[in-house]
Amino acid sequence: MWSYIPGLHWLAWIQAGIKARYPAYYLIGLVYALPSLLFIFAKTASWRVFLLGWMVGMVHAHLQKAEINRRIAHAASSSMPDDALMQALLRAALAQGGYVTVTQGVMATGASFADVERTLNTMVASGYVFTRNNPDTGVVEYVFKEML
């Protein structure tokens, strides 16, 4: 929405950077802010430069909308709260017969490998889960004792 407001269009990129946790968007926002800031505060840019910067920024935001939304969705899914992630891993283990691998956990929850492994290791430390190696594949499995 910010991209449609002349003079504030650059805030769309800053907001996208915050939501997506993607610092490159901050830089893009600052680049698009320069003509606006020069026009408003320094009076060194003409209104044509101001409008051109707004139009280019608006088109750029529109063309990158799918990529921005993908990055925002990824950032949101990777920041799943620990309790919600634990619950999702419990459901995945139940569906697998009482155990889950990190990869299965990632596929079931959409969280990152690091987040799933960290959460599973926390559950191991709590004593509710233990690890074993699958005898056929050697893959580490996290076994939920109470589901066996």
Instruction: Return left, alpha or beta for 3; rule: phi > 0 is left, psi -120 to 50 is alpha, else beta.
Output: alpha
pLDDT per residue as tens digits for the range 56-100:
888 998 899 999 888 888 777 665 567 889 999 999 999 999 999
3-state helix, strand, coil in the chain (%, to 5): 70, 10, 25
Q: What is the mean pLDDT of residues 11-21?
A: 89
Instruction: Return left, alpha or beta for 22; rule: phi > 0 is left, psi -120 to 50 is alpha, else beta.
Output: beta
**Model pTM score:** 0.52
Vertex 70, ends 69 and 74: CA angle to 5°?
Answer: 115
Distance (Å, rounded) from C-alpha 75 to C-alpha 73? 5
Structural domains in the chain plus CATH codes:
2-76 (no CATH), 80-147 (1.10.10.10)
Asked if 29 contacts 11 with a C-beta cutoff of 8 angstroms, the reply is yes
Note the pLDDT of residue 79.
Answer: 57
pLDDT per residue as tens digits for the range 100-143:
999 999 999 888 899 899 999 999 998 989 999 999 999 999 99
Q: How confident is the model at residue 32 (pLDDT cuts 50, 70, 90)?
A: confident
Provide the token pair at 93.
């283990």
